[in-house]
């Protein structure tokens, strides 16, 4: 693992945090400059809760994710644009995403509902 750490960061600290995040299911992209994770959720209601939770915290932190949602999943990407690279803001927000997802509750991908098999009570 050779992640690109943003200039001015505590490299040892950020690299250690990245290693822990990767062990916890986060992935680095090919350039090793971006963190990515997909959470699978039991309902669209929980997709919405998790997205709102992440967006609210990122607004407070002024550090914004690329966030994609489906009927049963939320995918989050973190990187820092200036100075370019991974920073402690990315690791902070990635850890926050894990805490939020844990408190809402995630499911295995095969347990998540597919769009089309929805019951009205789950909308």
Ligand X SMILES: C[C@H](O)[C@H](O)[C@H]1CNC2=NC(N)=NC(=O)C2=N1
Residues at the site binding ligand X, with contacts judged by CB under 6 A: 62-64, 78-82
Q: How far is the CB of 117 from ligand X (least distance, A)?
A: 34
Q: Which residues, 6+ apart, have CB-to-CB distance to 61 below 8 Å?
A: 89, 92, 93
Q: Residue 64 contacts by C-beta under 8 Å, 6 or more apart in sequence?
A: 58
Question: DSSP characters for 91-118?
Answer: HHHHHHHHHHHHHH----GGGSPPTTS-
Nearer to ligand X, 5 or 72 (CB): 5
- Rounded least distance, CB 59 to ligand X, Å: 10
Whichever of 35 and 41 has its CB closer to ligand X, that residue is 35
Minimum separation from the CB atom of position 27 to ligand X (A): 17
Task: CB nearer to ligand X: give 39 or 78.
Answer: 78
Q: How far is the CB of 103 from ligand X (least distance, A)?
A: 22
Report the Cα–Cα distance between both ends of the chain, in Å, rounded. 41
- Pick the closer one to ligand X by CB: 7 or 105: 7
């Amino acid at each position: 693992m050779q992640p690109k750490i943003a200039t001015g960061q505590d490299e040892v600290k950020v690299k250690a945090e990245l290693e822990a995040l990767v062990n916890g299911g986060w992935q680095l992209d090919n350039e090793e400059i971006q963190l990515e994770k997909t959470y699978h959720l039991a309902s669209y209601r929980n997709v919405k809760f998790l997205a709102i939770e992440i967006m609210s915290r990122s607004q407070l932190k002024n550090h914004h994710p690329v966030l994609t949602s489906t009927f049963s999943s939320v995918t989050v990407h973190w990187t820092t644009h200036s100075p370019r690279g991974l920073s402690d803001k990315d690791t902070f927000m990635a850890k926050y995403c894990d805490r939020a997802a844990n408190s809402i509750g995630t499911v295995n991908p095969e347990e998540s509902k597919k769009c089309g098999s929805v019951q009205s009570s789950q909308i």
